[in-house]
Every structure is written in C-alpha cells, then in structure tokens.
Structure 1
Amino acid sequence: MSSKSKKRVVLPSRPDPPSVEQILEDLGKATPNDPVFSVLQDAPQDRAADSVVESRYQQSQRYLELNERLQQAKGELATKRDELCLAGERLEQSVAETHGVRTCIS
C-alpha cells in the first residue's frame, strides 16, 4: 500500500468564534472546578510578577537618582576641599607673617 492509494480526508471547516453573550452564558454555567477558574487564579501570580518587575524598576530609578545626587555631592565636596586648602594656605601665611613680626620685635 502506498500513500497515493489512500484517499484524503476532508476536514470540516472551523466554526465561527463564540459571541460575547455565548461566552458569558458559558461562564455562568461553569462549575467551580472548571478550568477557566484555574486560569483566573493564575492571574494574581502574573500581577505578582508585574509587581516584582515594577519594584525592580523603582529600585533602579531610585539608584540612578541617588547616584546622580552622589556625583553632585562629590563635586561640591571637591570644591569645598579646594576652598579649605586655599584658606589653610592663607592661614599658614598669616601665621608665618605674624610669627615674623614677633621675631622682628623681639
């Protein structure tokens, strides 16, 4: 027997999709152990996954904001450090001049 000798089976055409009313009627007749309810029970898990993703996104955003503030603070501290170094040098010069004046008087 070859495959050429077999007759092809004609499949029936697909039915039209159900209307909203038919779906609602079907859901109304469904029993509590119907698979549709187990699918609906999985939905909160999807929301939980979305919540985790949202939480990670918020953490990332917060990290970026804090990192930007840290970089700004770093720049401000560098400026203040330079100002303090300059003030320290001026103070040392002033002390040296004051000490030199006392030496002249002595």
Structure 2
Amino acid sequence: MTQSRKWRLRWAGLRRYGGREEAPACGPPVMSSKAKRVLPTRPDPPSAEQLLADVRGAPPGDPVFVLPAEPRPDRDPSPDPLGGQEERERLYRQSRGYAAMTQRLRAARERLRERRELLLRAGAALDRSIADMRQRAF
C-alpha cells in the first residue's frame, strides 16, 4: 500500500484490517440482545357454553344474584316530615336565581358590546382627525 493511499484512508476514517478496508466501530460495543420479546396473547373470550356453566355452578348466595333489600313501604326514606318539600323549594329558588343572573349577564354583555362599538367609532374618528391635522401641518 502506498503512502498516499494510507493517508487517504485515514482521512476518510477507514483502517485496513486483514487486507480489507473498514470503518472503525463508533463508540463502545453494546452488550444487549437484539431479539424481539414476544408477549403472551390475550386469552380468547369465554364461549356461551362456558358462561352458562359458570352461572349454573354459582351458589345461590352469590352477590351477583342477591337483590338489594327493598325499603319498607310503611317507613318513608326521607326524614323530612314535609317529604323533601323544603329541599325542592330551595332548589327552585336557586335555579330561579341562576336564571335571573343569566338574564342580567346577557344584558350587561349587550351593553358592553354597544359601548365597545361606540369607542371603536370614536377611535376611528380620532385617528382621522389626527391624520387630517398632520396633513394640514405639512
């Protein structure tokens, strides 16, 4: 191998190994496996026969088949003697207050929109008068 060829190989970052030219390895060798890991697949859903066999084999006291206890009809579940009338009245007044507040907010929004348009028109008129005065001055 000639001297100029050696320099060209060095310049290109190549080295001569056993009669062939190779690029040096970049960085330290990596000690990891390149093999892909295979995850287990999801099991198949049970068939209708398997579901029926499971339901038939369940004991009668299984929580899935036990109904919740019914409230007794002789006892009113609400402790309020008026039957919750006060709570309903409170909720009604609250909803009426919300509706009134919504109306006031809509009216305020409309007033603000009108004032904004008025200010925009006044600003445009002011800009025109300033431009007019500048032209007169020059």
Give the TM-score taking structure 1 as reference length: 0.52
Higher RCO, 1 vs 2 (CA within 8 Å, ≥6 residues apart): 2
Match of 2:102 in 1: 67
Match of 2:113 in 1: 78
Q: Give the alignment partner of residue 47 of structure 1, picking from 79, 82, 97.
A: 82
Q: CA deviation at 1:47?
A: 3.2
Match of 1:4 in 2: none
- Structure 1 residue runs of 5 or longer lacking an equivalent are 1-38
Q: CA deviation at 1:50?
A: 1.4
> Which one has the bigger strand percentage?
2
Distance (whole Å) between structure 2 residues aligned to residue 99 and residue 48 of structure 1: 78
RMSD: 2.2
Distance (whole Å) between structure 2 residues aligned to residue 47 and residue 102 of structure 1: 82
> Which one has the bigger helix percentage?
1
Of all paired residues, the percent bearing the same amino acid is 27
Distance (whole Å) between structure 1 residues aligned to residue 95 and residue 134 of structure 2: 57
Structure having the higher Rg: 2
Aligned length: 63
Distance (whole Å) between structure 2 residues aligned to residue 63 and residue 52 of structure 1: 16
Distance (whole Å) between structure 2 residues aligned to residue 44 and residue 56 of structure 1: 18
**Where in structure 2 are the equivalents of 1:1-106 lying within 5 Å?**
45-47=80-82, 49-103=84-138
Distance (whole Å) between structure 2 residues aligned to residue 44 and residue 95 of structure 1: 74
- Structure 2 residue runs of 5 or longer lacking an equivalent are 1-74
CA deviation digits over 1:37-77, x for unaligned, max 9? Answer: xx8xx996133721111111001100111111111111111
CA deviation digits over 1:7-44, x for unaligned, max 9? Answer: xxxxxxxxxxxxxxxxxxxxxxxxxxxxxxxx8xx996
Give the TM-score taking structure 2 as reference length: 0.41
